[in-house]
Structure 1
Amino acid sequence: MAPAYLDQSTVTDGVPRPRVAHLQPGDGPDQWLGQRPDMYQTDWAPRPRRRHRRRGRGRSVVVVVTAVAAAAGGMFAVSRADRPATAPVAIDAAFSSVRPAATAADRRPARASSAPAPRTKIGTSASTPRPSSTPRPPRPVSGLSQAQMNNAATIVRVARDRKLPRRAMLVAMMTGLQESSLRNLANPKVPASLDEPNEGSGENFDSLGIFQQRPSQGWGTAAQLMDPRYAAGAFYERLLRVDDWESRSLGDAAQAVQRSALPGAYADHEDRAAEVVDALL
C-alpha cells in the first residue's frame, strides 16, 4: 500500500495555508490514526505583515481606478476592500481644480516689448515734476503785503489787456494807493459786501473795493465792486471818458475820475506808484 504524503503551500499574500493529507486508494480509515495532521497548525511561523506596504498598494489601486473612471466621465466609488460601494460618489468635482497640461504656446518665452523706452534729457530725472502752469504771485515791493501786490498786479494786467499805456496804469495805481492802500475793502453799510472776499472794511458812505467806488453812484453792484478785476476795468472806462486825461497831470487825471474832497492827495503817491508799476511790467 502506497504511503500518503502531505502538501504544504502558501498563498501569494504571505499567509500560510493548512496542511492537506492525500491518501492513496486502499488506505484504511485507521491507518493514519494518531498521525493525522493538525489542519489548523502551520508548518512555520507566520511572517509579520507589512502594513504600510499593503496600505500603499490599496491606495494605488483606488487612485488608478478613480482616474480611469474620471476619464470615462462616469461615476464610480471604490471601497477600501476594492469592492464597489453601495452609494455612488461623484468624482468630477475632485478633479475640477486640476490645471490642464501646458501647451506648446504656454511654454514659449514671453517676447520683449518692442515699444521704445521714453527718452530722458541729460541731466534731468524722469521723476522731476513739470513746472506748474499757474503763474507765481508777484514779489511785493515798496513795503506792500502780498495781498496788496496781488491787487496791484490785477490793475496792471487789466490795463495791458485793454492795451492801455503806462500812464493809465500810474493814474490807477495812485488812486488805489490813496483810496484803500491797494486793499479790497468791504463796508458794513453794504451788508452784501461782507459776504465777498475782502481785506478789511471801511465806512465811507457806501464806498467799496480798491477804488472805493459807490454802488449808489452807478459804479456797479456790491459783488462786482468787490471783484478787483471788475473794479479796475470800471476805473479805466471812466478815465477814458476824460477827453484830455493824457495831457493832464497824473493827480488831476485821477481827480477827474474820482471827484474826491481831497483833490491834491493823489499826487503824493506818484513815486511809489511808479515803483510798483515798473516792478510788474
Structure 2
Amino acid sequence: MRTRAGVAGFVVLVLVAVIGVVLGMRQVGDRIRLPLASRSCTVQADGTVTLNAHQMANAATIAAIGIQHELPDRAVVVALATAYQESGLRNLEGGDRDSVGLFQQRPSQGWGTPTQIRDPRYAADKFYAALKKVRGWEEMRVTDAAQKVQRSAFPEAYEKWADESEVLTRALLGNATGAVVCTFGGDPAMRGEAAATALSRGLNLDWGLTSAVTTASLTGLTVAAGDQREGWRYAHWLVAHANDHGVKRVRFGDLEWTNRGDSWTRVGDESDRTAEVVAEVFGDA
C-alpha cells in the first residue's frame, strides 16, 4: 500500500510540474517572438496571408511574370493557387515521379529540363504560356483553369488556395498600399555592390525592365514608376525579395519599410517622391 501511495504521489507531482511548465511557456510566449518569426512576411490586402521569406519571393516572381505576359490579374490568382497546391510556393528539387519546382512540372511531359524548371521565372513563364492556350480560362473557377494546365489527379485541390492567392495578387500587382511586410535579422545574404547588382538584375528579369532601373550607388537603386499602382508593384517586389538580396530599406511616396520593422511608416512629404521607388541594401561589412 505504501508503495502504491508513493507512486501515486510521484505521478501527481510530475503532473503539477508539467502543468507549471506549460503555463510558463504560454506566458513567456506572449512576450517574445520565437526564431521562426524572424524571417517571415505578412501580406494584408482585404485579407491576410503569412509566408516565409522564400515563399514570398517566389510569389512575387510569379506575379511579375504574369504582368510580363500582359495577362489580367485573374491569371496571377490561378498561377499562385497552382503553386500553393503543388509546392507550397517552394521551389522543390523533386516530387511525384519526375516533378520539379514551384508548379511540379515534369520534364517527361515536355515542360523543360529539371534545371530549367527549377528556375522560378522559367517555370512561371511556361505555366502562363500554357494557361493562355486554354480557351475560356478567364471565365472558369480557379481550380478548373489550373486543372486544364496541370492535369492533376486532384482537380478540386486548387480551389482551396483561391482566397490566399487573391490577397497576394492584390498586393503584388499594386492594388494595395504598404501591403507587404517582411522582417529578418542577422547577417544579410548579400551586401554592397553585389547586392545592388543582383537586385537590379532580378528586377530586370522579373518585370522586363531595362532603363527603368538605375543603380544609384554601391548600396542602392531607384526604379522609375509610371503611377501609384506601378510603384507599389515594384516596392512590394523589393520587400518580398529583401531577404535574399540584402535589402534593408524601401521607400515609395511618403512611406518606408525597413527589414526590422513590422509595418510601412510615414517618413515625410509625399511630393516629388511618387515617380520612383528607392531601395537601399546593406553596405559592405
TM > 0.5 fold call: no
The structure that has the greater radius of gyration is 1
**Whose relative contact order is higher, 1 or 2, with alpha carbons under 8 Å and at least 6 apart?**
2
**TM-score (ref. length: structure 2):** 0.44
**TM-score (ref. length: structure 1):** 0.45
Structure showing the higher strand proportion among its residues: 2
